[in-house]
Amino acid sequence: MGAMDKRKGRRQKTERFSVASDHSLDALFERFYHAKVAEGRKERTLESYRENYGFFVTYMDLRGYGRDVRLVTPDFIREYIVWNLNEKVRFDGHKFKSEAEQTVGITASSVNTRLKTMRTMFRYLAEEELIETNPFNSVKKVEEDDNEIHIMSVDQLKKLLAAPNQRRYSGFRDYVVMNVLLDGFLRINEALSLRRSDIDFDLGMVNIRAEQSKNRKSRAVPLKKQTLKLIQDLLRENEDFDNDYVFLANYGEPLCDGQFRHRLKEYAKLAEIPIRVHPHLFRHTAATMFLEAGGDLRHLQLILGHSDLRMVMRYTHLSKASIKNQHEQYSPLNEVMGKLNKERKVLR
């Protein structure tokens, strides 16, 4: 009687909530991941899927939740966003980051990047009818502050380019990488994947192979003679190594972007540049300077390798100095005040 009383009104448990295979988030992620492998996604994209999924389930683990797809609700996703913005320790556990750099909260753009993988995954799950509803449909992107994106000034670029010790192989190589990034408007993986055969010294062009390009399309990018000369000098230095890549580490293996990012940070510290310097900043800066100097959007689009002109607009964050200069040059007061000043001189 007593045992029956204890059971009265309680739901019978027949299924382990956290390990039901149909609802296992890890199993569903693997299914999504292999579908993207079959679609031919780039290795770096696949790596980002694993990385961003890892961030998401780490938060589930911290909350003490089982990795069950049914627990991923709009409210849970919003909690994850708030945690990233306000509580997540930035660069936590990063071997190249000091304690001072490990600040609380990550940027809105970083949060949106982390969520992008999860949105893609859950859209796939919904399309495959592996879930009934997509919880991400009702969760908006985090609003990003336009001021998050910076560019370098000409003076900062000069100081940064002067930082590597070119008497050393590694310093000269880094100097060439920076020149190629700036002159070619390249992404870091595009630059570091360059081989001797990708460079046409007669035409003054480099070929970005489809498998290295973000949009999976090859493109030809022009470089100035002085940049091509630097590459030729570096290739002569590389003759000691049996490797076709242009940018090599000290022992002859291809230079990794992590190695270069770390060295770039040291150069930025040496040059006393007050903003966060990273490889993609060269691309932002180059595109902005190209437009400020009078280059047109269509040619910039071809150099950057974007199929959508709207994407190019992301690289047109004109500096305040440039806006001030344009205003000085084209303000309507130039016409009005110019005439008034002339008249005053006549009267005097």
Q: CA 231 to CA 151: how far, in whole Å?
A: 25
- Residues in CB range of 18: below 8 A, 6 or more apart: 66, 67, 68
- Span between the terminal Cα atoms of the chain, in Å: 115
53 with 121: CB under 8 angstroms?
Answer: yes
Predicted structure pTM score: 0.60
Residues 217 and 273 in one domain: yes
Integer Cα distance of 74 and 194 in angstroms? 43
For the chain, give the mean pLDDT.
83
pLDDT in tens, 208-261: 887 776 667 788 999 999 999 999 999 999 998 989 999 999 889 999 999 999
In this structure, what are the phi and psi dihedrals at residue 125, rounded to the nearest 5 degrees?
-60, -40
Length of the chain: 348
216 and 241 together in one domain: yes
- Rounded mean pLDDT of 306-332? 70
pLDDT at position 335, please?
82
- If asked whether residues 287 and 245 sit together in one domain, one would say yes
- What pLDDT does residue 263 have? 96
pLDDT at 37 over 70: yes
Asked which of 206-210, 252-256, 292-296, 337-341 is least confident by mean pLDDT, the reply is 337-341
Do 173 and 255 sit in the same domain of this protein? Answer: yes
At 170-211, the pLDDT tens digits run 999 999 999 999 999 999 999 999 999 999 999 999 998 877
Q: Assess if residue 336 is contained within a domain.
A: no
pLDDT above 70: residue 125 = yes
Q: Which two tokens stand for residue 91?
A: 């660069």
Please tell me what DSSP assigns to residue 253.
S
CB 45 within 8 A of CB 32: no
Nearest-angstrom CA–CA distance, 247 and 231: 9
Mean predicted confidence (pLDDT) in 81-109? 63
How many domains, the chain?
Answer: 2
**162 with 143, same domain?**
no
Phi, psi of 228 (to 5 degrees): -65, -35
Count the helix, strand and coil residues of the chain and give each as a percent rounded to the nearest 5: 60, 5, 35
| 96 and 111 housed in the same domain | yes
> Is residue 100 pLDDT above 60, yes or no?
no
Give the DSSP per-residue string, 203-223: TTEEEE-TTTSTTS--EEEE-
Rounded distance between C-alpha atoms, residue 61 and residue 57, angstroms: 6
Of 104, 127, 148, the domain-final residue: 148
CATH of the domain at 159: 1.10.443.10
Task: Identify whether residues 302 and 164 lie together within a single domain.
Answer: yes
* 227: containing domain: 154-320
Q: Give Cβ neighbours of residue 6 (< 8 Å, ≥ 6 apart).
A: none
Measured in whole angstroms, the distance separating CA 76 from the mean position of its chain's CA atoms is 26
| CATH number of domain containing 104 | 1.10.150.130
Same domain, 264 and 316: yes
- pLDDT number for residue 346: 44
